[in-house]
Amino acid sequence: MVASSISQTRVWFITGCSSGFGRALAEAVLERGETVVLTARNLQQVEDLAASFRDSTLSIQLDVTKPEEVKEAVKKAIAFFGRIDVLVNNAGCEVAGVIEEVPDQEVRREFETNFFGVLEVLRAVLPHMRQQRSGHILNFSSIACFRAGAGGGIYGSSKFALEGISGSLANEVAPFGIKVTMVEPGWFRTDFFRRSYVLMDTQIEDYKPLINEISQWVVPVQEMKAKAPGDPKKAALAIIKAVDSDNPPTRLALGADTVKTIEAALEFIKAELDAWREVSVSTDFDEVVANEAQLV
């Protein structure tokens, strides 16, 4: 049965509400009077939110790596609220280590959460959004897509994969009134490194200096997250502003560090493209080059 007291507000379905961006966004949405499906692997971590906003929340246990839980969670949300207006794929994790050595099971675990988990949620929610001819999907990506840091290849590739489907998805669902935004945060004051980050050790002598350097950086981050420049509450407000917009961005960079990183990446790509332009365009058939010259 649809809850009548909240049927006129937007319904947000947010994965990973126990902490970090998911928690901050859920709080911001609820404080402005909207409705949230609070999902988490451990529901005890969202009990306080559910208790404070009893009339505008539904708490559902959800591990996005379990397809049956995903289907059941979406089914419950639709049965209770009648619709899902905003889907936020926020749940994620990171395994760090050198490409040559990160165990296959850790690579697969990373992709099961950051990519296949998102894919499961998307496929469960999209039929409802298509039917209602409206909706907004936000997929959490990362600054890592623009900063190919040593040791971050597995995490970055999982987010690259997510960006790959997000761009295509945006074009596929636009005719149905559904919008898609990739959220690309930098370094924020969340518990991500303490709760969702694993640094793999190395047995290869050549890589030990790199792993030692990463470990010396990560441990202080866990202990002193206050040094991170990003405010999760402000990030939540920025996300809400994008959802409120009639023309939301396909990519929403969050944090000055992300903006600077993306700008540097674009400059690097442009400079390298220009440097190798002659070689790049020389691969066309001669008749194609001749035809193009005639059209100029």
| HSE-up of residue 49 (Cα within 13 Å, Cβ side) | 28
Nearest-angstrom CA–CA distance, 217 and 224:
11
Nearest-angstrom CA–CA distance, 117 and 204:
32
Whole-Å CA distances, 244 to 78, 85, 237: 22, 12, 10
Q: Which amino acid would we find at residue 92?
A: G
Looking at 59, 159, 166, 179, which residue is catalytic?
159
User: Is 141 designated active site?
Assistant: yes
User: Is 280 designated active site?
Assistant: no
Nearest-angstrom CA–CA distance, 5 and 258:
40
Q: Calculate the CA dihedral of residues 179, 182, 188, 189 and round it to 10 degrees.
A: 50
Our measurement of the distance from residue 169's CA atom to the centroid of its chain's CA atoms, rounded to an integer in Å, reads 14
Residues in the chain: 296
H or E segment at 125?
Answer: helix 117-132
H or E segment at 19?
Answer: none
Looking at 56, 142, 155, 166, which residue is catalytic?
155
Looking at 59, 141, 157, 166, which residue is catalytic?
141
User: Is 260 designated active site?
Assistant: no
> Which residues are catalytic, by number?
141, 155, 159
